[in-house]
């Protein structure tokens, strides 16, 4: 009977701890929201450059690591419109979600192995043109502070793209170094956003931490709201 009561007591304590963990934690302007086994995040990177990562997925805590396996993002995303073009040049028009042209967006053409073919930056009007080639398979679109994306090349097509001002994380694994600060806070260090994480284990996470700790990334405290 005492053993049964002890098991019930341990289980009840675990449930209370799990319930306490659910909620929204903020270190403005960044935030993480936990609900059941799911997590939503809006989190800046470690580079000092303004790149905000947003995403959603299922999470688990493995020892002192928080691992989020992201799914399709259900918030506002970049929009691609494809139209008929000519046979010589690919025309690109890049703008923000308000329709304002974006200058300096880098457009890169890639072959089937992901190797570089050619690139160009958009002008003051958000326009760029690149020569067509049978080798083109993918197109990379990148701008600091905006969504970085890869799209499949469609022959004889032009592209109008509206970029959102954050990096949408989908179908990738996000890893944080994690610790519980107090009853109302958690401490986090962003370690990795990577689509190549095929297997997550304590050993692989420890290896990732050893690799990244030399950079001295700042631990941040997120307070429960």
Q: In this predicted structure, what is the pLDDT of residue 95? A: 97
What pLDDT shows up at residue 13?
38
pTM of the model: 0.79
pLDDT of residue 145: 87
Query: For residues 170 and 71, is the Cβ–Cβ distance under 8 A?
Result: yes
CB contact at 8 A, 117 and 110: yes
Other beta carbons within 10 angstroms of residue 169's beta carbon come to 22
Q: For 61-96, give one letter per residue: b (16+ CB within 10 A) or e.
A: eeeebbbbbbeebeeebbeeeeeebeeeebebbbbb
CA distances from 168 to 8, 90, 142, 165, 193 (A): 42, 25, 12, 9, 11
- Closest to 201 measured CA to CA, from 175, 169, 171, 172: 175
What CATH number matches the domain at 21-74+174-224, 1.20.120, 1.20.1330, 2.40.128, 1.10.10? 2.40.128
Domain map (residue ranges) of the chain? 21-74+174-224, 79-163
H or E element in which residue 37 lies: none
CATH code for 79-163?
2.60.40.10
Which residues share a beta bridge with 139?
Answer: 109, 151
**pLDDT (tens place) for every residue of the chain, 225 residues total:** 444 334 334 333 334 344 457 899 999 889 999 998 899 999 887 655 557 899 999 999 998 999 999 999 989 999 999 999 887 999 999 999 999 999 999 999 999 999 999 999 999 999 999 999 999 999 999 998 899 999 999 998 999 999 999 999 999 999 999 998 888 999 999 998 887 776 788 899 999 999 888 777 788 999 999
What does residue 96 show for φ and ψ, rounded to 5 degrees? -85, 180
CA angle 106, 82, 84 (to 5 degrees): 110
Q: Which residue has the tokens 């341990």?
A: 10
* b/e per residue 147-164 (b: at least 16 CB within 10 A): bbbeeebeeeebbebbbb
């Amino acid at each position: 009977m005492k053993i049964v009561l002890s098991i019930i007591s341990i289980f009840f304590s675990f449930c209370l701890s799990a319930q306490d963990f659910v909620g929204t934690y903020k270190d403005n302007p960044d935030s993480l929201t936990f609900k059941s086994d799911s997590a939503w995040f809006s989190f800046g990177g470690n580079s000092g450059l303004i790149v905000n990562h947003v995403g959603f997925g299922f999470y688990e805590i493995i020892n002192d690591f928080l691992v989020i396996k992201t799914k399709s993002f259900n918030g506002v995303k970049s929009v691609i419109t494809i139209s008929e073009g000519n046979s010589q040049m690919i025309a690109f028009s890049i703008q923000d979600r308000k329709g304002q042209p974006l200058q300096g967006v880098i457009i890169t053409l890639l072959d089937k192995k992901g190797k570089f073919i050619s690139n160009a930056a958009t002008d003051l009007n958000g326009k760029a043109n690149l020569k067509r080639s049978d080798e083109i398979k993918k197109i990379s679109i990148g701008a600091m502070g905006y969504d970085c994306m890869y799209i499949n090349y469609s022959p004889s097509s032009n592209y109008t793209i509206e970029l959102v001002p954050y990096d949408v994380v989908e179908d990738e694994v996000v890893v944080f170094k994690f610790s519980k600060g107090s009853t109302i806070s958690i401490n986090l260090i962003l370690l990795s956003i990577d689509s190549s994480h095929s297997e997550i284990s304590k050993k692989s996470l420890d290896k990732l931490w050893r690799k990244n700790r030399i950079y001295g990334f700042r631990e941040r405290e997120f307070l429960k709201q």
